[in-house]
Amino acid sequence: MTGKILVGYDGSDSAQRAVDYAAGRAKAEGADILIAHVLEWSPYSFLTPEELAERHKRRNEELARAETALLAPVVARLKSAGIAVETELKYGHIAETLCRLATEHDISQIVIGRTGHSALASRLFGSVAGTLAQAAPIPVTIVP
C-alpha cells in the first residue's frame, strides 16, 4: 500500500491515541505520516472593528502557538520512532479541510481520534468524525 496516512491532530488524549495507531500502521506499511492541525474558522463569522484590526496579529500568534505547543512535540515523537512525518497547519472547517488535504496530498487513509461529545452536542454542532465518515474520499479510521 502506498501513500501517506493523514492524522487529524488537536492535542487531545484521543488524538494522541490516533497518532499511536497511525504510527503502528505506518511502520507496518512503510508509509509516511501527515499530521494536520486545523484551527476552526469561518470567513462568515462576525467580528468587532477592533478584532478586524488585530486579526492578522492574532492569526500569527495562533499559528505560532499551534506550531510549538501542538505540532513540534508530536513530530519529535514520531521522528524518534523512525517515521517520516510532515505537518500541515490550516484554518477552516475541520472536516472539509481534512478532506481537501487528503486529495491534495497522496493520502491513503485518514485517522482521527473520537471527540467523545455527548449525543446532544453532536446533534447540535455536528461532529468532525460524523462529517468525515460521510464526506471523506478515502477510508477513515476513528480511534476511541
Partner 1 sequence: MNRSFAGALVALAALCAMAAPAAAQSIDAKVNEIFANSTGWFVSFIFAPLPGTSFPWIVLWLVVGACVFTVYFGLIQFRAFPHSIALVKGDYSDPNDAGEVSHFQALATALSGTVGLGNIAGVAVAVGIGGPGATFWMILAGLLGMASKFTECTLGVKYRNEYPDGTVSGGPMYYMSKGFAERGLPGGRILAVFFAVFCILGALGGGNMFQANQAHAQIANVVGDYPGWITGIVLAGVVFAVIVGGLKSIARVTEKVVPFMGILYVLTALVIIGLNADKIGWAFGQVFAGAFTGLGVAGGMIGALIQGFRRAAFSNEAGVGSAAIAHSAVRTKEPITEGFVSLLEPFIDTVVICTMTALVIIITGQLIADPETGRYILNEAGTAIQTVDGNSGVALTSAAFSSAFGWFQYILVLAVILFAFSTMISWSYYGLKAWTYLFGEGKVTELIFKVIFCIFVVIGAAASLGPVIDFSDAAIFAMAVVNIIALYVLMPIVKRELDSYLSRLKSGEIRKFR
CB 4 within 8 Å of CB 103: no
CB contact at 8 A, 34 and 7: yes
Q: Kindly give the interhelix angle for 128-135 and 94-104, rounded to the nearest 10 degrees.
A: 40
Candidate list 28, 57, 119, 120; residue touching partner 1; CB under 8 A? 57
106 phi/psi in degrees, rounded to 5: -85, 80
Exactly one of 17, 77, 90, 117 binds partner 1 (CB under 8 A); which one?
A: 90
Asked if 3 touches partner 1 (CB under 8 A), the answer is: no
Select from 2-10, 68-76, 87-95, 120-128 the region that touches partner 1 (CB under 8 A).
87-95
Residue among 134, 32, 40, 41 nearest 83 (CA): 32
Judged by CB, which is closer to partner 1: 32, or 88?
Answer: 88
Q: Closest CB to partner 1 among 100 and 117? A: 100
Q: Which is nearer to partner 1, 29 or 96 (CB)?
A: 96
Main-chain dihedrals φ then ψ at residue 127, nearest 5 degrees: -115, 150
Please say which residue, 51 or 86, places its beta carbon nearer to partner 1. 51
Residue closer to partner 1 (CB basis): 77 or 92: 92
Contact status, residue 23 vs residue 81, Cβ threshold 8 Å: yes
Interface with partner 1, residue 13, by CB under 8 A: no
Question: What is the binding site for partner 1 (CB under 8 A)?
Answer: 39, 41, 43-57, 59-60, 62-63, 90-92, 100
